[in-house]
Amino acid sequence: MGVRRRLLLISNSTLHGGSYLEHCHDQIRAFLGEQVKRVLFIPYALHDRDSYAKTARKKFESLGYGLDSIHESSNPIEAVRKSEAIFIGGGNTFRLLKALYDNGLITEIRKRVLEDGIPYIGSSAGTNVATISINTTNDMPIVFPPSLMALELVPFNINPHFLDPDGSSKHMGETREQRISQYHEELNTPPVLGLREGSLLLVEGDKATLLGRTGARLFMRGKAPTEHIPGADFSSLLTDS
């Protein structure tokens, strides 16, 4: 029997010119459907969790879903166990992963998503932690989680907010592509999917499809990067799971 996972992994929460999750609200509504009534929000990636939960709640209520924020629960583990769907928002990936470890939620979320099959939505940092590790995040390590290993809901890594090189820029630091290449200089490193802002990956069991409007770039160790447009099938990236 295949893995039951259902994931919607979003590159960014806000697209230039739009409001919070506006660019992907149709995909969120289609993903959650009518069976889900309430979503458990995990706001650990930002410091002001109350304000973050208020923003997320307003958006999900406008889509027809109730939202409970895990930071308001006296028992985070029990909140995960009772959840109908999970949404982890963006912010600092190191802060987010440390809080998931500190609250004992890594195993619990994996069980709910991979064994029980509840929907998981991640955005930015929430997308990073859905992968094998946070090695390919763009964030500064402002805190130190016990490990860089993440939820491992998919057997590859993602680089959200992926940026193409700007030929007119005088900035002399490494491009995003060069940094991912440096990651792949290490042995046994998994594929990295560079999700541009405005793109998202839908995973249903052993099928993965690129959605959105901007496309993605796939990096595999020892191979030239490849370009992919919305609608691309990335199911081959799931075969190691």
Establish whether 161 is a catalytic residue. yes
Q: Which of 161, 181, 184, 228 does the annotation list as catalytic?
A: 161
Residue 168's pLDDT is: 61
Q: Decide if pLDDT at 73 tops 70.
A: yes
Q: Which of 11, 13, 83, 139 does the annotation list as catalytic?
A: 139
Q: For the purposes of burial, counting CB atoms within 10 Å of the CB of 54, is it exposed (0-12), middle (13-18) or buried (19 or more)?
A: middle
Q: How many CB atoms lie within 10 A of CB 22?
A: 14
Whole-angstrom distance, CA of residue 190 vs CA of residue 93 = 19
Q: Decide if pLDDT at 241 tops 50.
A: no
Which whole number is the average pLDDT over 3-32?
89
Establish whether 164 is a catalytic residue. no
Is residue 115 within 8 A of residue 6, CB to CB? The reply is no
DSSP state of 151: -
Q: Per-residue pLDDT tens for 81-93?
A: 999 999 999 999 9
Q: CB within 8 A of 114, min separation 6: which ones? A: 3, 4, 5, 153
Average pLDDT, the chain: 93
pTM of the model: 0.94
Residue 164's pLDDT is: 73
Fold classification of 6-238 is Rossmann fold (3.40.50)
β-strand partners of 192: 157, 219
DSSP state of 133: B
Is residue 41 within 8 A of residue 57, CB to CB? The reply is yes
Whole-angstrom distance, CA of residue 193 vs CA of residue 222 = 15
DSSP state of 113: I
Q: Which of 13, 83, 124, 199 does the annotation list as catalytic?
A: 124
